[in-house]
Structure formats: C-alpha cells, structure tokens
C-alpha cells in the first residue's frame, strides 16, 4: 500500500536547475495521483524510440493569457518536467486548446488533431464548459466515451483531466456531478484520470495556494501551472512505467 | 359520503422529517462544507430531495384532498394553482439574488487562473436572454432546480388528485407508467442554455404522486407489508449495500471493493431521472422510519424536536431562505474565511436563522388567523394555510 506517502515533486524536478519561480510545496499524495493504470503506448514509445509525443487537448484552463502565457502553462511545464526527469528521451508536448468547447464539441475535432500531431498520449482536459452550461450528464458521458474510443482506436494512450478547483465559483458552477462522471469513465475504461479538481483542492486545504485570492496575480497562475505540469509528469512516469527504462539506459 | 380517508390532526412526523430535510438541503448547498458530511447523501443513494418531494406530495394530498372533498374540484384546484404561483414568485426572487451575486463575482474576481470560468460565466450576464429563460423556468442556476420541479408538480396536481381520490391504484399506476415511459423514451423538459431539467419532472412525479397516494389511504394499505419482518430485513440489507457502495466513493483506494460487473450494473446512479436505486433507497429509509418512529412517538412533542417541526411546517419560506443562506454562506466563506470553524459557524447560524424565521412566520400566521372576522379555519390551519 502506498498510503499517503507524499511525493515531493518539486525536489525531483528542480534538482540542479536554476528556476525562475520559487518552487512552492505542491506535493501531491500518492492516492490522489495514482490508480494503477498503464500507459502502454507511452512505455513503448519511450522504450523503443526514446521519444514521447504528448498532446494536450483542452479548453481555456489549459493555457494562460499573455504573450508568454503558453510557455508558462502546464503543457509547457509538463514538457520541461519530463525532459528533465527522463534523460535520453526527447519529450514533445503540443498544446491544442480552444475556448468554450464542451466535451461533445471537442470530440468532433479529435480526428483533425490526431492527424496533425500523431501523439503517443493524449491528455484530454474537459468538463469545465459542460459544467457551466449544465450539459446533460448522459450526453457528457457519451461524448467522453466516444472520444476516448476514437483516441484509443487511433492508437494513442488517453489520460483524462477534469476541471480546476475554483472555490469562488462553487455556488454558481456545480462541477461535482461532472467530476464523478469523468471518474467513472476513467475507471471503466481503465485509463488514468489526472484529478486536477481533487489535487487543487488538496493544495487549497493544505494552504499551498490561496485560490480565493482576487485580483491579477499572474504569479499564482504560473506557480499552479508549474505544479500541475510536474504532477502530470509524475503520473506519466508512474503509469508509463518509465523510471526503470531510464535506469537501464543510464547503467 | 364516506368517512374521511385520512385521520384528522397533523402527523408531526411529516413536519419533523421535512424540517430535517430542509436543513440537510441547506447544508448540502453550501459548497465545500465540512458539516455536509453528516447529510444522508454520503451514506447511501438517495438524499434529502427525495424526502422533501415525497413529504410535499403527501401533505399536498392531505391538505388539498380534504378541500376537494369538502368544496369541490374548482375551489381546491384554484388553491393549488395559487400555491404554484406563490412558489413561482419565490423562485424568481431567489433568481434575482443569484444574478446579483454572480454579477458581483464575475466583475470583481479577476484571477488569471480562472479566466476560463469567468469568460463562460459572462453568458449569464446577458439579461435579455437569461431573465427571459429564467421566467420560462428553462434557465435554472445551481441549487435552484427543486422549486421549478415543485411548480410543475403542483400545476398538474388538480387532475392527479381528482383521480387519486376516485381510483387511487389507477392514479399510482399511471404515474408509474409515466416514469417508465420517460425512462424508455428519454422524455424531459428542455433547459437553457443546454440540456434538460436537472430534476426530470416526468420521473420525479412518481415520488410526489406516491406521497399523495400514501396520504389518501395508501399508507394504511401498505401497513401489513411495512410491518412485516421480511420487508424490514430487505430494507436493512439494501441500506447496508448502499452504504458500502457510498463508502467506496469516499475512499479512492478501496474502489476495488466494488467488482466491475456490479459497477456496470448500478452506474450511473441517475439523479436527474430518479434512478430506481435512489427510489428504492428512499423506500428502505421510509420503511425503517415508519417502523421506529410511530405517529404517537412521545418525542414528537419534546422541545428538542420542535425547531425541526417548526421549519417543516413552513417549508416554502424555509426552503427559499435556505437557498439564499447557502449563497450568502458561501459568499462569507470566500470573502472572510473558509476555515473549518467558519464552516461550522456558518452551518449552525444558518440553521438557527431558519428556525427563527419559521417561528416568525408562525407568529405572523397566528396574527392573521386569530384576528376577528377572519374566515374560520380547520384546527390545523397552519398546514392548510398552504404548506403543501
């Protein structure tokens, strides 16, 4: 049992590297991050080609505003984190984000994205727009299942990512049922779910971040995205069983 | 004329459990509230909504059923529609408060991390669309779905009640048939901006009509079944099963305690369409309640239960207040502090405010009811005064 042993991601990722922002303590307990899934395509790509292509398929919360926003958002931070932790592997993370799309709207554009990127792993971030527009749960679930099927049929691994924890809008946006639905789909399809909602909530409860803060605090958004990128990196390494390959390669 | 089918005098259990349901709904409506861990939704399939709708159906039949027998279809029908109108007005009032809150938050909260949430919430700030859609009951903000359901149920209640009084079994059968058809063909009412009603009226009417059927003599007919030890055993086993499943939602590592085939069988547990598992869970709870809390339970007159009974007797006022207090409470948690003690304070003071308001409403009704020249009212006027 890996009960509540915190993984201090910060230490692993920043080792030996001077990094602009001070790494906050955004450790994530194992039980929030890992559910014993496997990412076979990732394992193969890293083991055989020493390459890993990841596509982040998301909406507005997968990027940050401003000219340098994309380079500070979690997809870019994930790329940096994985390249640091996986020596001799070239990791490329492409970010495909479009504002305001529901899961069903995204599902329709999956094919275009796949043709362009040919990823080994697709991280599908969705649910926020559905929750705000109160899309019917059945439809949401059907869109997720169909999208996951399409992705898997195209030969990529899939990881789902749910909404941000947003305490200020909790009384206006009911994300709970959509979180549950995504968890159920991930469980039934045996694919990993990056539970961004639970993880950010954990950070909030632990006092790592103050998500209640109002005002234009770009620093907060950057730090959160950096932590998200590293946590996703840890999940990719765990479920892709990547550490052993790296160890062998360095021996 | 046949003898009254329902016993006269108020069944305080209805008020008690509706009052408790109102408290639980309030606690569940405050997001990220530690205190909501005590509410029943965490220990099984159904939640306070089922209790509220069932008791509302029961009391509606109790109150308006007598009016229909004594004063006819038109008078009682008119009273039911007036009640629906009151609830509609209350709903729109809550909507105004909601819009005020959302406009404030969307304008003042400028955190780049949540740019997406804020951008999409902007659609709510288009009054030309949202207000019209709210008036049509198509746009229903979070936590404001129960009243529109209640309005629809009351609008359709006069003919249902008429049928229930003549052929109760037929009425219940028709209700069940509608439930089955709604499941079969996916019937629901459209909502704005997407999807359908969160509480599907075609499905949830079953619970309301079942409550009404129980009030009109069904409960007596069920008594032999309710008292049987076999029923009791089944109810306890089912509640235990639901408890284990509910446990698995809260302990991520233990999800493996539920085998895959069982997951495929029971999920999704559909709240929108009143999943059979939820309905059965409510029935099991009701079986235990009826068994262990008899109508003559002495505690019903004890001071400690009086606050809950008081709230249950003025359900519309207290329900609306609860929705508002949940908004306000969340606002305080965000603006002042979201600490553990604060959540407890907000929860407790909300319930105290609900009790105080219920007492105030009782006082007002007494003022009106006792004034000279007022129409004569039956002894349980408070209940008949529209708390259906």
Question: In the prediction, which pLDDT does B195 show?
Answer: 84
Residues of chain A positioned with their CB less than 8 A from the CB of B31: 167, 170-171
Asked if residue B372 has pLDDT above 50, the reply is no
Asked if residue B252 has pLDDT above 90, the reply is no
Cβ-contact A167, B32 below 8 angstroms = yes
Residue of B31, B120, B267 with shortest CB distance to A170 = B31
Asked if residue B375 has pLDDT above 90, the reply is no
Q: What is the pLDDT of residues B183-242, one digit of tens each?
A: 999 999 999 888 899 999 999 999 999 999 999 999 889 999 988 999 999 999 999 999
Q: Which tokens is B100 given? A: 């005020």
Tell me which of B105 and A99 has the higher pLDDT. A99
Q: What is the pLDDT of residues B47-88, one digit of tens each?
A: 999 999 999 999 999 999 999 999 999 999 999 999 999 999
Q: What is the pLDDT of residues A5-24, one digit of tens each?
A: 334 333 333 333 444 444 55
Question: In the prediction, which pLDDT does B377 show?
Answer: 46
- Which candidate, B113, B347, B200, places its Cα nearest to that of A204? B113
Domain ranges of chain A: 35-250
Portion of chain B with pLDDT greater than 70, in percent: 91
The answer to whether the Cβ–Cβ distance between A216 and B112 falls below 8 Å is yes
- A35-250: CATH homologous superfamily? SGNH hydrolase (3.40.50.1110)
Entry pTM:
0.84
Q: What is the pLDDT of residues B128-147, one digit of tens each?
A: 888 899 999 999 888 899 99
Choose the mutation target among A127, A167, A169, A201 for the interface with B, i.e. most B CBs under 10 Å: A169
Which residue does chain B place closest to A172, by CA atoms?
B142
Choose the mutation target among B25, B34, B114 for the interface with A, i.e. most A CBs under 10 Å: B114
Three-state SS letters, A192-229 = CEECHHHHHHHHHHHCCCCCCCCCCCHHHHHHHHHHHH
Asked if residue A88 has pLDDT above 50, the reply is yes
Q: A184 at the B interface (CB within 8 A)?
A: yes
Averaged over B103-114, what is the pLDDT?
Answer: 81
**Lowest-confidence pick of A12-16, A198-202, A218-222:** A12-16
Q: A181 at the B interface (CB within 8 A)?
A: yes
Residue numbers of B between 175 and 194 with CB closer than 8 Å to A: 191, 193-194
- Which candidate, B266, B150, B130, places its Cα nearest to that of B197? B150
Q: B117 at the A interface (CB within 8 A)?
A: yes
Q: Who contacts B376 (Cβ-Cβ below 8 Å, separation ≥6)?
A: none
Which residue does chain A place closest to B265, by CA atoms?
A188
Choose the mutation target among A171, A187, A218, A225 for the interface with B, i.e. most B CBs under 10 Å: A171
Asked if residue B173 has pLDDT above 60, the reply is yes
Sign, CA torsion A60/A61/A66/A71: negative
Residues of chain A positioned with their CB less than 8 A from the CB of B121: 132, 169, 172-173
Portion of chain A with pLDDT greater than 70, in percent: 87
Asked if residue A136 has pLDDT above 60, the reply is yes
Question: In the prediction, which pLDDT does B63 show?
Answer: 92
Asked if residue A249 has pLDDT above 80, the reply is no
Portion of chain A with pLDDT greater than 90, in percent: 53
Residue numbers of B between 256 and 285 with CB closer than 8 Å to A: 260, 263-264, 267-268, 270-272
Q: How many CB pairs (< 8 A) connect A and B?
A: 136
Domain ranges of chain B: 12-384
Q: A61 at the B interface (CB within 8 A)?
A: yes
Question: In the prediction, which pLDDT does B151 show?
Answer: 96
Tell me which of A161 and B266 has the higher pLDDT. A161
Averaged over A176-186, what is the pLDDT?
Answer: 91
Query: Rounded to an integer, what is the distance from CA B67 to the centroid of its chain?
Result: 23
Assign B253 a pLDDT band (cuts: 50, 70, 90). low
Per DSSP, the residues of A116-184 read HH--SEEEEE--HHHHHHT--HHHHHHHHHHHHHHHHHTT-EEEEE-PPP-GGGTTT---HHHHHHHHH
Question: In the prediction, which pLDDT does B255 show?
Answer: 56
Question: In the prediction, which pLDDT does B380 show?
Answer: 39
| CB contact burial A17-41 (16+ within 10 A = b; e otherwise) | eeeeeebeebbbbbbbbbbebebeb
Q: How far is A16 from chain B (nearest CA, A)?
A: 28
Tell me the average pLDDT of chain B: 88
* Rounded Cα distance, B206 and B187, in Å: 14
Asked if residue A212 has pLDDT above 50, the reply is yes
* Rounded Cα distance, A35 and B228, in Å: 44
- Which candidate, A146, A156, A201, A159, places its Cα nearest to that of A62? A159
The answer to whether the Cβ–Cβ distance between A132 and B101 falls below 8 Å is no
Averaged over A167-194, what is the pLDDT?
Answer: 90
Asked if residue B180 has pLDDT above 80, the reply is yes
Residues of chain B positioned with their CB less than 8 A from the CB of A128: 116-117, 120
Residue of A3, A135, A221 with shortest CB distance to B113 = A221
Question: In the prediction, which pLDDT does A52 show?
Answer: 94
* Rounded Cα distance, B17 and B300, in Å: 11
Q: How many residues does chain B have?
A: 388
Question: In the prediction, which pLDDT does A243 show?
Answer: 66
Question: In the prediction, which pLDDT does B314 show?
Answer: 94
């Amino acid at each position: 049992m890996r009960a509540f042993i915190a993984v201090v991601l910060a230490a692993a990722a920043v080792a030996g590297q001077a990094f602009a922002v001070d790494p906050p303590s955004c450790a994530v307990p194992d039980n929030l991050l890992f559910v014993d899934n496997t990412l076979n395509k990732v394992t193969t790509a890293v083991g055989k080609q020493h390459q890993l292509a990841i596509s982040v398929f998301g909406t507005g919360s997968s990027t940050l505003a401003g000219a340098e926003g994309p380079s500070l958002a979690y997809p870019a931070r994930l790329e940096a984190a994985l390249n640091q932790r996986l020596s001799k592997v070239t990791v490329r993370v492409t970010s495909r984000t479009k504002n305001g799309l529901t899961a069903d709207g995204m599902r329709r554009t999956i094919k275009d994205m796949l043709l362009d990127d040919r990823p080994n792993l697709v991280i599908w971030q969705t649910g926020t727009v559905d929750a705000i527009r109160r899309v019917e749960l059945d439809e949401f679930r059907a869109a997720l299942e169909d999208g996951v099927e399409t992705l898997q049929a195209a030969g990529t691994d899939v990881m789902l990512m749910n909404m941000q924890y947003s305490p200020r809008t909790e009384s206006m946006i009911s994300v709970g049922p959509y979180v549950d639905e995504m968890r159920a789909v991930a469980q039934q399809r045996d694919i990993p779910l990056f539970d961004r909602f639970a993880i950010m909530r954990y950070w909030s409860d632990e006092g790592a971040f103050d998500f209640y803060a109002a005002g234009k605090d770009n620093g907060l958004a950057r730090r959160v995205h950096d932590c998200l990128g590293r946590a996703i990196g840890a999940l990719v390494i765990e479920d892709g069983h990547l550490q052993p390959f790296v160890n062998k390669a360095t021996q | 004329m046949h003898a009254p089918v329902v016993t006269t005098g108020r069944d305080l259990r209805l008020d008690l459990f509706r009052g408790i349901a109102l408290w639980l709904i309030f606690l569940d409506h405050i997001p990220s509230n530690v205190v909501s861990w005590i509410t029943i939704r965490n220990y099984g399939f159904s939640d306070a909504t089922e209790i509220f709708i069932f008791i509302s159906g029961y009391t509606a039949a109790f109150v308006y059923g007598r009016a229909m027998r004594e004063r006819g279809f038109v008078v009682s029908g008119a009273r039911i529609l007036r009640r629906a109108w009151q609830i509609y007005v209350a709903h729109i009032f809550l909507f105004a408060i909601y819009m005020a809150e959302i406009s404030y938050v969307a304008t003042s909260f400028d955190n780049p991390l949540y740019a997406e949430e804020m951008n999409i919430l902007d659609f709510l700030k288009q009054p030309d669309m949202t207000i019209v859609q709210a008036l049509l009951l198509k746009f229903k903000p979070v936590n404001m779905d129960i009243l529109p359901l209640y309005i629809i149920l009351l609008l359709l209640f006069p003919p249902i009640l008429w049928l229930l009084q003549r052929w109760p079994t037929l009425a219940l059968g028709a209700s069940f048939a509608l439930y089955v058809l709604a499941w079969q063909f996916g019937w629901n009412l459209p909502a704005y901006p997407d999807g359908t009603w969160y509480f599907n009226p075609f499905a949830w009417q079953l619970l309301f009509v079942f409550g009404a059927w129980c009030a009109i003599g069904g409960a007596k007919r069920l008594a032999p079944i309710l008292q049987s030890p076999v029923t009791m055993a089944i109810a306890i086993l089912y509640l235990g099963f639901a408890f284990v499943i509910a446990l698995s939602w809260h302990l991520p590592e233990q999800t493996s305690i539920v085998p895959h085939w069982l997951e495929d069988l029971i999920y999704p547990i559909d709240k929108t369409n009143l999943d059979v598992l939820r309905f059965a869970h409510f029935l099991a709870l009701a079986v235990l309640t009826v068994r262990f809390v008899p109508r003559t339970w002495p505690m019903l007159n004890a001071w400690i239960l009086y606050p809950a009974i008081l709230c249950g007797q003025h359900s519309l006022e207290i329900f609306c207040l609860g929705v508002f207090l949940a908004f306000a409470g969340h606002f305080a948690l965000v603006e002042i502090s979201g600490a553990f003690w604060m959540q407890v304070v907000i929860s407790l003071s909300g319930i105290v405010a609900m009790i105080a308001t219920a007492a105030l409403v009782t006082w007002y009704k007494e003022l009106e009811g006792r004034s000279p020249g007022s129409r004569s009212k039956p002894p349980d006027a408070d209940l008949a005064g529209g708390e259906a």
